[in-house]
Amino acid sequence: MAISSIDNSIALDALNTKKFTPTDDDVKLREQTDKFEAFLLKKVLDISLKSDHKLFGKDAGDKIYQSMYNDTFSKAIGGNIGFSQMLFDFLKEQNHLQR
């Protein structure tokens, strides 16, 4: 008994025609929600890494280096945690309801 292949071309064509094309406002909103998520992550990192950490020494610039590390790390992972997407969807829906 041979297994016949299923033709998915009609379903795939239907999916491809409904692609979401972001507007300029969507791109700007996404940038802002990603930045907000990075800001929140930086605050969490600032609080959680406040104790003595072996990565950072006890010299005059340790607070500066730690702040720079937290800032860079939060920007790198900002937009990938999920809070940005949730905020984006909420604000987009609110904007759509106001129109």
- Mean pLDDT for 84-91 is 93
Residue 13, pLDDT score: 57
Burial 16-52 (b: 16+ CB within 10 A, else e): eeeeeeeeeeeeebbeebbebbbebbbeebeeebeee
What phi, psi does 42 have (nearest 5°)? -65, -40
What pLDDT is stored for residue 99 in this prediction?
Answer: 65
How many whole angstroms separate alpha carbon 33 and alpha carbon 78?
Answer: 9
pLDDT of residue 15: 53
For residue 61, the model assigns a pLDDT of: 78
How do residues 32-48 score in pLDDT, each as one tens digit?
A: 999 999 999 999 988 88
- Determine the Cα–Cα distance for residues 20 and 4; give it in Å rounded to an integer: 33
- Give the pLDDT score at 79: 84
Asked if 56 and 65 touch (Cβ cutoff 8 Å), the reply is yes
pTM given for the model: 0.64
